[in-house]
Amino acid sequence: MTARVELNGRWFDATEGRDLLSTCLENGVDVPHFCWHGALGSVGACRLCAVRVYSGPDDTMGRIEMSCMTPVRDGMRVEVEDAEAGRFRAHVIEWLMLNHPHDCAVCEEGGACHLQDMTVATGHRNRRSDAPKRTHARQDLGPFLTHEMNRCIACYRCVRFYRDYAGGTDFNVFGAHDRVWFGRAEAGALDSPFAGNLAEICPTGVFDDKQWSQHYARPWDMTETPAICTHCSVGCNITLHERAGTLRKVQNRYHGAINGFFLCDRGRFGPWFVDAPGRITAPRQNGTAIAPDAAIALARQAVADGAIGIGSPRASLEANFALRELVGPDRFFAGVSDAEAAQVARMLAILQTTPASLATIKDFESADAALILGEDLTATAPRAALALRQAARGAEKALAGEKGVPDWLDQAVRVAGEGRRSPIAIVTPLPDALDDAATHPLRRAPDQVATFGFAIAAALRGEPSDPEAQAVAQALAAAHAPLLVSGIGLSRAEPAEALASIAAALGAKARIALFPAEANSFGLALLSPKGGLESALAANPAPLIVLENDLYHRADSATVNALLSRAPLTIALDCLDTATTARAALVLPVASMAEATGTYINNETRAQRSLAARRPTDAAPAAWRVLAQIGGLLGDAPRLDDVLAALAARSPALAGAALAAPPATALPAVARAPESYSGRTAHDLAGRVPQGTLPHQDPDSGMGWSMEGLRGAGVPPALSTGPHRPGMHSVSAAYAAQTTIGGPLKGGDPGVLLLVKSETQGQALTDPTPNGDGLRWLPLHSPFAATETDLASPPLAARAPAQHLLLHPDDATRLGLTAGAQTLVDGQPCAAPVTLDAAMPRGWVGLTAPRGRSPLVTLGAVP
């Protein structure tokens, strides 16, 4: 219901019953606040958002109220700048600052600190007390976060995020009254794969990004570039911070439909691979350096000899397209197994034909029933799992709503909601990290997951089915917006098929999300490669051009070995040394995601542009540039817009990719560096201007490399890294760029959906039952590492679990293995000892292994 409210003398339309603080912030009326957060709601703990509220025109006295705890009422008048309210807020800040150390100078947060902003906003300057400040002990929280408890102001945002929002259990508040302490019971890395968000959710410097601290530059001293996370298929928006040519910090970049306020740790710490020691810096032939021109000439010769191109789900759309143009569409293969290439193509076909609508990650949060079929979502698409946890609270909010408790009143909702949970069914082979949020945690062997899915579809059609499937079907049928989720995590095609039949039975009210394995899996599939690596092996022997791909992570090693040893010449283009580049005769360095601009297509077929955070070196330009140079495509100095125009001409279905961000010619350019960027003239420039000899304009994007150009409001959302408003320096001010709190960005959420609905039902896939002796492979996933780029990032490598090998005790007895035994897997010694797990399905072995490995595992004891 609409209400008219007067905020600081101006009348606004507002929603009756909504909290006053959000209403003020959405309408551009800034109210100081601490414990409130757009994603966490109101708890009224800090008392900083006090304003004077008048009930109506007759009320001349008014009263001081906490705006985050006050529902909007029609005719209400609010004075934020009221003198008494201002004094009240100044007192609150003075209390908060009573024990806060005098260490902004040596605090990473300084310059991007919510507490600093709020202290300045309320006018508090001098500490009047000379009592000694309370101090706390620090804790080592692993490779992701720093911990400096002296700075804590006890706003409780961290526990509310970590425990209530992200479902973590190993972090809590300890102690009593004014001595509360936030941390783990024992020192050690935080378990939750979302722990990195504490660095952003903390309004001061208690938790900070340890990688940033170790590569420190002040917030105003780093360029900010909008990029896309390339570590899973969700495509979260990130900001890369750079100074002096090195990556300094990775930060969440708000996107209303995808990541919202939060990232997972794989996304936050994954990009550190770009400065890893294994970067390739110069072309080399058989291990020795070679002149770039000679390398290009060799590659040209290989193309003339009919080279085969191996694309990559990790590389950008432009790079894959340039490779396809170079070798020709008939010789372009996906750098994944045949099975995976077919599965991903089939997933696209399912999305095209399903009557269900495509679920964004934001839609996950509002689903009132959900089914996850076979996917270990917390490990394969972590941000989606975090969103699903919020869906579980839907029933609690509905019950609280019936009792008259609004959904923004966070703690009251938790009490009034009586712990009620929305129906969520998780059908996986092993106990899942989301089980605690699920009402139906169901265990099925990998080949039975799809069977169960088909049973749900049958039950929805009114056919007899097993009781558990009946129960899930009932919950889905009763829901207004049921969510269906599956993916490729089991390396099987059938779960997606089962999901398609459930979606068909539920009709248009259903929302569907299918997660392929990597950031550009869908982009690669949309370029219609001629099958995967087994198909490439079946083609005539020819030189290979492998694009940004460690094949050993994506296909069976026997296939890759055969492919590489058969090719007369293997050319690998990559930014990192991998097992594949080690076997390639010619290695060409290319830019990593931090130096290359490119488009990635996420799990909802949203094309998003990731921009180069620093200039590429002459030795390692963007992969598409190298490929265009080899083929002499698009002239002497091709630009990204030329590649996208060629792509649109060749594949009209992908024409939308060009609209993911403004073209490079859109002037004036957007500034990468903040206006107070310092130190530009500290080095000897012999009278040149700092930007000097290098061009200011980035040829591949609408951004400039320096401080010159647009910033703040007016920047297109695809190029914007935040609201950049005076007095708001912290990431806690992200709400200022949103139309509504937690809603779309002003100017629209960036990205273009490429999916075109189709009526043509494709051929359903089935998974063959492998013949032969041995156990069947159950893939195990980790939230911290999936492919070579994750493992090359030093913080992720420190956090990634060692390899795991899980066996059912009965299978172990049959094979004569005991817990902790060393084994041979397919004849090779396995790094992981045997772990016995009664939850394992019999006849299967859970193994951390690259995707696309053979589905049969021969396991034996080490003789």
Partner 1 sequence: MIGILSSLMRIGRMLGAKTQTRAYPEEKPVLPPRYRARIILTRDPDGQERCVACNLCAAVCPVDCIDVVKAETEDGHWYPETFRINFARCIFCGFCEEACPTSAIQLTPDFELADYARSSLIYDKEHLTIAGEGKHPGYRYWDIAGKAKTEAEAPPVDVRDLLP
User: Is 398 exposed, middle or buried, given 0-12, 13-18 or 19+ CB atoms closer than 10 A?
Assistant: middle
- Least separation, in Å, of the C-beta of 178 and partner 1? 9
Tell whether residue 125 is a contact of partner 1 (CB under 8 A). Answer: no
Pick from 358, 231, 354, 317: nearest CA to 528 = 317
Contact 348, 384 (CB under 8 A): no
**Interacting residue with partner 1 among 91, 134, 300, 414 (CB under 8 A):** 134
- DSSP secondary-structure letter at 710? B
Decide whether 97 or 238 has the Cβ nearer to partner 1. 97
Tell whether residue 57 is a contact of partner 1 (CB under 8 A). Answer: no
Decide whether 135 or 758 has the Cβ nearer to partner 1. 135
**Interacting residue with partner 1 among 11, 84, 129, 135 (CB under 8 A):** 135
Tell whether residue 159 is a contact of partner 1 (CB under 8 A). Answer: no
Specify whether the backbone of 47 is left (phi greater than 0), alpha (psi in -120 to 50) or beta. Answer: left
Tell whether residue 101 is a contact of partner 1 (CB under 8 A). Answer: yes
Does an H or E element contain 845, and which?
strand 844-847
> What CA–CA distance (Å, rounded) separates 407 from 652?
45
Contact 803, 848 (CB under 8 A): yes
- Least separation, in Å, of the C-beta of 206 and partner 1? 12
| Sequence-separated (6 or more) residues with CB below 8 Å from residue 851 | 336, 337, 340, 488, 491, 517, 553, 554, 555, 779
**In this chain, which stretch among 135-143, 335-343, 368-376, 557-565 interacts with partner 1, using CB under 8 A?**
135-143
> What CA–CA distance (Å, rounded) separates 655 from 640?
13
Decide whether 152 or 424 has the Cβ nearer to partner 1. 152
- Least separation, in Å, of the C-beta of 696 and partner 1? 17
Contact 126, 97 (CB under 8 A): no
Decide whether 136 or 231 has the Cβ nearer to partner 1. 136
- Least separation, in Å, of the C-beta of 223 and partner 1? 15
Tell whether residue 678 is a contact of partner 1 (CB under 8 A). Answer: yes
Helix, strand or coil, per DSSP, at residue 339 = helix
**Interacting residue with partner 1 among 4, 63, 125, 137 (CB under 8 A):** 137
- Least separation, in Å, of the C-beta of 138 and partner 1? 8
- Least separation, in Å, of the C-beta of 730 and partner 1? 16
**In this chain, which stretch among 313-321, 611-619, 673-681, 753-761 interacts with partner 1, using CB under 8 A?**
673-681
Binding mask 780-819 for partner 1 (x = CB under 8 A): ----------------------------------------
Phi, psi dihedral angles at 368 (to 5 degrees): -105, 5
Helix, strand or coil, per DSSP, at residue 209 = strand
> What CA–CA distance (Å, rounded) separates 280 from 548?
12
- Least separation, in Å, of the C-beta of 621 and partner 1? 28
Decide whether 247 or 536 has the Cβ nearer to partner 1. 247
**In this chain, which stretch among 126-134, 289-297, 392-400, 769-777 interacts with partner 1, using CB under 8 A?**
126-134
> What CA–CA distance (Å, rounded) separates 384 from 378?
8
Contact 786, 264 (CB under 8 A): no
Q: How many CA atoms lie within 13 A of 795 on its CB side?
A: 28
Pick from 779, 783, 820, 780: nearest CA to 799 = 783
Tell whether residue 690 is a contact of partner 1 (CB under 8 A). Answer: yes
> What CA–CA distance (Å, rounded) separates 438 from 425?
6
Decide whether 177 or 480 has the Cβ nearer to partner 1. 177
**Interacting residue with partner 1 among 676, 761, 766, 813 (CB under 8 A):** 676
Decide whether 685 or 839 has the Cβ nearer to partner 1. 685
Tell whether residue 95 is a contact of partner 1 (CB under 8 A). Answer: no
Contact 7, 78 (CB under 8 A): yes
Per-residue tokens: 389? 């946890």
Partners of 850 in beta bridges: none
Decide whether 102 or 480 has the Cβ nearer to partner 1. 102
Tell whether residue 10 is a contact of partner 1 (CB under 8 A). Answer: no
Chain position carrying tokens 């992720």: 796
Phi, psi dihedral angles at 129 (to 5 degrees): -80, 145
Q: How far is CA 745 from the centre of its chain?
A: 18
Contact 801, 780 (CB under 8 A): no
Tell whether residue 528 is a contact of partner 1 (CB under 8 A). Answer: no
| Sequence-separated (6 or more) residues with CB below 8 Å from residue 418 | 396, 399
**Interacting residue with partner 1 among 83, 538, 649, 686 (CB under 8 A):** 686
| Cβ neighbours, 10 Å, residue 791 | 21
**Interacting residue with partner 1 among 684, 759, 771, 863 (CB under 8 A):** 684
Tell whether residue 98 is a contact of partner 1 (CB under 8 A). Answer: no
Chain position carrying tokens 């201002």: 86
**In this chain, which stretch among 117-125, 477-485, 585-593, 672-680 interacts with partner 1, using CB under 8 A?**
672-680
Decide whether 138 or 300 has the Cβ nearer to partner 1. 138
Decide whether 679 or 692 has the Cβ nearer to partner 1. 679
**In this chain, which stretch among 87-95, 105-113, 376-384, 525-533 interacts with partner 1, using CB under 8 A?**
105-113
Q: How many residues bind partner 1 (CB under 8 A)?
A: 44
- Least separation, in Å, of the C-beta of 101 and partner 1? 3
Tell whether residue 681 is a contact of partner 1 (CB under 8 A). Answer: yes
Decide whether 293 or 684 has the Cβ nearer to partner 1. 684
User: Is 694 exposed, middle or buried, given 0-12, 13-18 or 19+ CB atoms closer than 10 A?
Assistant: exposed
Q: In this structure, which amino acid lies at residue 150?
A: N
Decide whether 202 or 232 has the Cβ nearer to partner 1. 202
> What CA–CA distance (Å, rounded) separates 593 from 318?
12
Tell whether residue 696 is a contact of partner 1 (CB under 8 A). Answer: no
- Least separation, in Å, of the C-beta of 136 and partner 1? 5
Pick from 302, 80, 323, 110: nearest CA to 218 = 110
Tell whether residue 480 is a contact of partner 1 (CB under 8 A). Answer: no
**Interacting residue with partner 1 among 679, 692, 695, 801 (CB under 8 A):** 679
Task: Mark 659-677 as b/e (b = at least 16 C-beta within 10 Å).
Answer: bbbbebeeeebbbbbbeeb
**Interacting residue with partner 1 among 15, 27, 150, 352 (CB under 8 A):** 150
Pick from 818, 850, 844: nearest CA to 428 = 844
Decide whether 221 or 534 has the Cβ nearer to partner 1. 221
Pick from 520, 799, 792, 761: nearest CA to 660 = 520
Decide whether 11 or 174 has the Cβ nearer to partner 1. 174
Binding mask 216-235 for partner 1 (x = CB under 8 A): xxx-xx--------------
Phi, psi dihedral angles at 420 (to 5 degrees): -65, 140
Helix, strand or coil, per DSSP, at residue 147 = strand
- 160-219 residues near partner 1, rule: CB under 8 A: 174-177, 179-181, 213, 216-218
**Interacting residue with partner 1 among 62, 71, 110, 743 (CB under 8 A):** 110
- Least separation, in Å, of the C-beta of 179 and partner 1? 4
- Least separation, in Å, of the C-beta of 704 and partner 1? 17
Decide whether 102 or 128 has the Cβ nearer to partner 1. 102
- Least separation, in Å, of the C-beta of 128 and partner 1? 16
> What CA–CA distance (Å, rounded) separates 825 from 859?
5
Partners of 79 in beta bridges: 52
Decide whether 170 or 468 has the Cβ nearer to partner 1. 170
- Least separation, in Å, of the C-beta of 647 and partner 1? 41
**Residues at the interface with partner 1 (CB under 8 A):** 100-107, 110-111, 132-138, 148, 150, 174-177, 179-181, 213, 216-218, 220-221, 676-684, 686-687, 690
